[in-house]
Amino acid sequence: MIRPYGPLWVVLAGCLIHGVLDLFGHADLAWPADLAMAAIVFRFSAQWGVVRGVRQVRLLAMLHVGFLWAGWRLPVRRRRPGRAGGDDWSAGYAPVHALGIGFFATMLIGMASRVSLGHSGRKLEADALIWGLFWTVQGVAAVRVLPDLAPSLPAAMITLAGLLWLLVFGLWAWKFAPMYWRPRVDGKPG
């Protein structure tokens, strides 16, 4: 079992460094911390076996794939025009949406599904609907991030991403909400 407590403290410190630099208007100086955090996140993903997990344990794989979005987001950040040698390319809100949709929404689908299944007395397995919703969230994240990275893409993709996001979480709630007011299927209290 891999328990990376030391590197996780480094990631926490990197988040604090980035936050403080951003707060004082020096986010451009946070790239070493961002790069170190991304390297740690990708190393964790490799050690935890993200590829193997996708084929074997779907609920766990959801968490690993969500973690990859966080790793990708760290080195890709917004650039402001006129900064860093006149570079005027900007990732727009892509990093924010990679973190918000790619990481947090993926983790929410994975963790909330696992907890809901476990506390309702069901098997901890992602069925076809949960697995499909998980992959749809990956598509939503990509559809939302792409227009910021490639401005030539239609802005309507942003609306499409929003509608797909609502569909995913609407279907998730339709499946899981009844579990919260019905008795456990295994007959145990709770």
pLDDT at 65 over 80: yes
Contact 64, 53 (CB under 8 A): yes
Mean pLDDT for 57-72 is 84
Please report the pLDDT score of residue 55 as a whole number. Answer: 66
Say which residue the tokens 């760290």 belong to: 74
Which one, of 52, 59, 56, 171, lies nearest residue 122 by Cα? 59
Percent of the chain whose pLDDT exceeds 70: 86
Say which residue the tokens 């299944």 belong to: 117
pLDDT at 5 over 70: yes
Distance CA 45, CA 49 (A): 6
Contact 149, 91 (CB under 8 A): yes
Mean pLDDT for 77-95 is 60
The pLDDT tens digits of the residues spanning 95-124 come to 888 888 999 999 999 999 999 999 999 999
Total residues found in the chain within this entry: 190
Distance CA 135, CA 156 (A): 21
Mean pLDDT for 26-46 is 84
